[in-house]
Amino acid sequence: MHDDRTLTENRLARVLELRLRPAVHVRSLPLEVSAHHVPGEPVPVPDGIAGPYRPIAPGASWGPAWSTTWFRVRGTVPQDWAGERVEAVLDLGFGATQPGFSAEGLVYRPDGTPVKALNPRNTWLLIAERAQGGEDFEFHIEAAANPLIFDPDAAGDPFVPTRAGDVAPWLRAEAGGTSADTPLYRLRRMDAAVFDETVWELVQDLDVLSGLMRQLPEDSSRRHQIRHAVGRALDVIDLQDIGGTAGRARALLAPVLAAPAHAGAHRISAIGHAHIDTAWLWPVRETVRKAARTVSNVTALMDDHPDFRFVMSQAQQLAWLKEERPEVYSRVLEKAATGQFLPTGSLWVEPDTNLSGGESLVRQFVHGKRFYLEEFGVETRDMWLPDTFGYNAALPQLMKLAGIDWFLTQKISWNTTNAFPHHTFWWEGIDGSRVFSHFPPVDSYNGDLSGADIAHTERNFRDKGPANRSLVPFGYGDGGGGPTREMLARAHRLADLEGSAKVHMESPADFFAQAHEEYADAPVWVGELYLELHRGTLTSQLATKQGNRRCEHLLREAELWSATATVLLGDPYPYAALDRLWKTVLLHQFHDILPGSSIAWVHRETEEAHEQAARELELLVETALRRLAGPPDAPGSSIVFNAAPHTRDGVPALGGTPRAAAPRVTPVREGDDGGYVLDNGLVRITVDARGLITSAYDLSAGREALAPGAVGNLLQLHQDFPNQWDAWDLDAFYRNTVQDLTEADQVTVRGDAVEIVRSFNRSRIRQLLTLREGTRRLDIETTIDWREREKILKAAFPFDLRADHSTSEIPFGHVQRPTHSNTSWDDARFEVCAHRFLHLAEPGWGAALVNDSTYGHDVTRDVRPDGGTTTTARLSLLRAPLFPDPEADQGAHRLRYGLVVGADIADAVREGYAFNLAERTVAGAAAVPPLVEVDHDAVVIEAVKLADDGSGDLIVRLYESLGGRAAAHLRTGFPVTTALTTDLLERPLADAPHLPVTDAGIPVALRPFQIVTVRLTRRPLSP
């Protein structure tokens, strides 16, 4: 037999694309189309439907950027189409890019009922299942003209800087963008057509067989069998009468489609999914419409496919639908009741888990799970987080405390250096908690169940042998869209097909239960899941990160002082305001907002939201503190409040007390060679005439912190032009060139601070160095007018330390990372995340860097000619990427960081909190005892609040912060009747007895890094 493999496969590709797919809607007629344009923000659906329409025809342009065009389509079904399935083919001119990256539309009936969405891969609309003939129909389309900021299918560089992501001042042409009046799209096909079901089914048959055939080995018998059957089917198709011959072709393909899969074939759980970024290349307001479009699509599919299951993983998006699109939300409730629509994920949004604070992550679970419980009666058991830029090592414990048994993500498959060794495994956190986890080997959260997807899943699965199951999330995503009827057709054909894995549509719970039963002894991965990519997100868009950090600490204070005022004074607790403000902050922790990887519009709105939240929180704090402090008993009398979890300067943690005078700042004295010295008896800081720190001397230990000949607080500028993903990535080669900023415009004394001013390129930096009495911390306040492009600014501290690891704060604890690069895994961690502190030490002595808004750090070490080791820690202060926001980080910034000399881990923890939670001084005379305090230095009280259920119970969340065991007593400043430990949703833990309430307090034993939530029921006060 002669070899005709290439001939047949190429023939199939051409016939399928150029003849068969177009023949699905071969009989058609044009529709009557009219439109009206809505500039600016979207209008309510009734207003859009009622708008002033004017005729428009295919070929006409529409859609200035970020505007909405409403189309009205009308037609009459021809009499000779009676009995046929009639559909509209509505191609608004999207282009070939993925759904959600460009224009999208939602179709409505004239009464405003949503029908389904339109996107580049989904242009059909059902008019009649069995047409009567002669009936009129009318639909309206709300079409969003979203500019294509990023085209993943573009040839060349898709990361071209554009101002299309900033609508203020509405893309003025003179600003380098597109004119606000320039249409982006051109109307294409707007037809009514007969849907030929037989032809459509033939297309799906050939699509699946083609995909499978091309993935099989060239010389496999199965590939030859399929090719032979395909060739015979193509032979019987009359290209001038496709509808009349499609049935015969399907009959010839039926035997190869009926051949069952091997008994041991890999099993794939196909789960409908649409990853909808809560903001990214579009603003938050557009995400509300994206959610409505996707949900309308999938609920319509569920009507025709009872076995179709779809998961939606962000409670915020469903809450938006409930509030703003109740007609769409009613369909969610309908399909949730049938078990087809599955709330999942347990989170309010899919957050960045590197940058979000510990209590923020708690509230992501609390608000997410509570929404699903209240709205659907569903206790979600999984954390579904396919796309974020690394996963901190505290998450397993948080998941367990939230009642979560399973974890799914995808992003680690993007690693550029090391392939993660498992797809199914146990993930162990810093406290020892373990969660059963899965990374779908399809390597995508936008799967389409193509032959390539299925074959790659099976080939790539790394746990073959002991395990034989994996999961594929299928459906268009990033901008939404979800599964299509073509994808469901693939799933049905692949359920039991020889040569393929077995594909079954089911729920995440079904998959995880079966996978766990099959592979209960899966391997264990301990510690963080570090993404070897997107390291620049630790630094991009500083203002967004600063707003988040500030709001996180203000929320702590607002809850603490409001609860204190309620318990001690009987003041009302601001439940509703705190709930709303938490949700605002949680929303803006989404994994393309907080990391700084969204368009300018998103970050501008985020900064405004943070500012508004901060103003409201400051007012809540001020109101509570004024009540607690009481009236002054003498002119100038005041109370100092300390929201930090450690006593400082005589003020108790979480309480307030009168204090005669604030701690003094060490005066500056002149040093040698035109420099200055700050000396408080504990440390001595020497600054030279260039404004560089030449010595940081620990007077108590008699030890110099800085390496010989090195200088501290050295600002360094690097070229920062990654190979791709500008705002996301920081590539290792940035370190190959560096500009040390050693020249100063001026170095002077300003009050009790050393002031340094430096100018470089078009930027200017002003720093104030201060040292207070009684502290080992040098504070560095930095104001920058940042005008760089494609640069990263670092602050370096070269320590005379042989530290084999660095210690970085993460939520509810810390992690250690090697300072060497022995392995490729070590080398890939060249930029790491630390929250409030980074610590370096050798036995007996250490130093820490603390900050108020910096997350990116790097640590390197070198052996000097004298035999000593220099370990250099650097903070990443600012970046200047051009995509997707060409003005990212431009302008004025103020940030603070500090050097703590002679610090152990406990010092670093304490100083990190103190640096971010300033004391507050309020006029008054009433000392305020803490509501709660703990008698163990390693135990940190993270949150004090009233229970969310309005019972008046007090919730105290605490954790062990040093990585050891702690036997502590929790003491209260009010009478307590009962104390019990709870989960994160403030529900009693199963089998957890009540904690004894003793004269010494409530005993709490914690293992390393353990988080404990205690619920205290207050004893009613006697009248």
Q: Are 87 and 125 in contact (CB under 8 A)?
A: yes
How far CA 942 is from CA of 665, 1009, 1020, in Å, comes to 29, 13, 26
Distance (Å, whole) CA 699 – CA 677: 14
Query: For residue 629, what are its two tokens?
Result: 């402090």
DSSP tag of 468: -
Tell me the helices (H) and strands (E) count for the chain, helix number first. Answer: 18, 52
Distance (Å, whole) CA 149 – CA 887: 15
Place of tokens 């305001």: 577
Which segments of 212-305 are extended strands (E)?
A: 267-273
Place of tokens 């899919």: 350
Whether the bond into 929 is cis, omega within 30 of 0: no
Residue 212 CB neighbours (<10 A) = 25
What angle do helix axes 451-460 and 197-215 make, rounded to 10 degrees? 30
Active site residue 949: no
How far CA 82 is from CA of 73, 127, 130, 375, in Å, comes to 20, 12, 7, 43
b or e along 70-82 (b: 16 or more beta carbons within 10 Å of the residue's beta carbon)? bbbbebebbeebe
User: Which of the residues 91, 387, 571, 752 is marked catalytic?
Assistant: 387
Distance (Å, whole) CA 566 – CA 569: 5
Distance (Å, whole) CA 490 – CA 497: 11
Residue 499 CB neighbours (<10 A) = 24
The alpha carbon dihedral of 3, 8, 10, 11 has a sign of positive
How far CA 580 is from CA of 574, 575, 576, in Å, comes to 10, 9, 6
Distance (Å, whole) CA 815 – CA 805: 10
The H or E element containing residue 832 is strand 832-833
The secondary structure of the chain in percent helix, strand, coil, rounded to multiples of 5, reads: 30, 30, 40
Angle at 929 between CA 928 and CA 931, to 5 degrees: 115
Whether the bond into 169 is cis, omega within 30 of 0: yes
DSSP tag of 430: T
Q: Are 984 and 365 in contact (CB under 8 A)?
A: yes
Find all residues with CB under 8 Å of 1014, minimum gap 6, and list them. 955, 956, 957, 958, 970, 979, 980, 981, 982, 995, 1002, 1004
Q: Are 302 and 338 in contact (CB under 8 A)?
A: yes
**Closest C-alpha among 791, 778, 786, 767 to residue 716:** 791
Find all residues with CB under 8 Å of 253, minimum gap 6, and list them. 202, 205, 206, 209, 229, 230, 233
DSSP code string of 104-146: EEEEE-TTS-EEEEEBTTB-EEEEESS--SS-EEEEEEEEEE-
The H or E element containing residue 693 is strand 693-698
Q: What backbone torsions phi and psi does residue 474 show, to the nearest 5 degrees?
A: -115, 145
How far CA 356 is from CA of 390, 585, 669, 812, 834, in Å, comes to 12, 10, 41, 11, 11
Catalytic residue numbers read 387
